[in-house]
Structure 1
Amino acid sequence: MLGGIWGIISTIIVGLVLGVIGRLLAPGAQKIPLWLTIVVGIVAAFIGNWLAGVFGVRDTNGIDWIRHVFQVAAAVVGVLLATGAYAKIKGSQKTS
C-alpha cells in the first residue's frame, strides 16, 4: 500500500519538475494553472520514455540523458499545446 502512495507522489513530483522545465523553455507567457502544468509534465514523462524506447535509448549505462531530453522536449510541446487549448477554453467560457 505504501509503495503505491510513493509511486503516485513521485509521479506528481516528476510531472511538476518536467512541467516547470517545459514552461521555462517554452517561448512566451504560459497562462495555465499549476495542476495543468503537472498533468503536462506527467504525460511528457510517458511520451519521452516511449520515444526513448522507439529510438532504442531508453536504458543506458549511467544517467539516461537522451531519455530526459525527449521528456523535456515533450514537456515544452505539451505546455505550448496546453496553453493554446486552455486559452481557447477560457475564452469560450467568457463569451457564454
Structure 2
Amino acid sequence: MTLIIFLIIGALAGWLAGLIMKGGGFGVIGNIVVGILGSFLGGWLLPKLGLIIGGDFGGFITAVIGAVILLFLVGLIKK
C-alpha cells in the first residue's frame, strides 16, 4: 500500500513540476516518471542541504522540488 501511495504522490509531483517548468515537460507519462524519480532525488538532496520538510504535505513538496530540479537538469542535457 505504501508503494502505491508513493507512486501516486510522485505522479502528482511530476504533473505539477511539468506545469511549473513550462516547456520543460515530457508529456503526461514522462512527467509522471520524472515525478517519481524526482521524489527520490528530492528525498536524497534536500536533507543534505539542510532543508527538511516534515509531514505528509512536506513529502509532496519535497517530491515536487525534486521533480522540478530533475526537469531542469534533463532540460539542460536535452539542449
> For this structure pair, what is the TM-score category when the shorter chain's length is used for normalisation?
0.5 to 0.7
2:9 aligned partner, one-letter code: V
Cα RMSD after superposing both structures:
3.1
Q: TM-score, normalised by structure 1?
A: 0.57
Mind listing any 5+ residue stretches in structure 1 that lack a counterpart?
1-5, 86-96
Q: How does 1:48-67 map to 2 (within 5 A)?
A: 48-58=42-52, 60=54, 64=58
Q: 1:74 to 1:57 in 2, by over 3 A?
A: closer
Look at both structures and tell me which one has the larger radius of gyration over its CA atoms.
Answer: 1
Q: 1:27 to 1:53 in 2, by over 3 A?
A: same
Identity %: 25
Number of equivalent positions: 77
Q: TM-score, normalised by structure 2?
A: 0.65
Q: Is the 8 A contact 2:9 2:63 kept in 1?
A: no
Runs of 4+ in 1 over 3 A off after TM superposition: 59-65
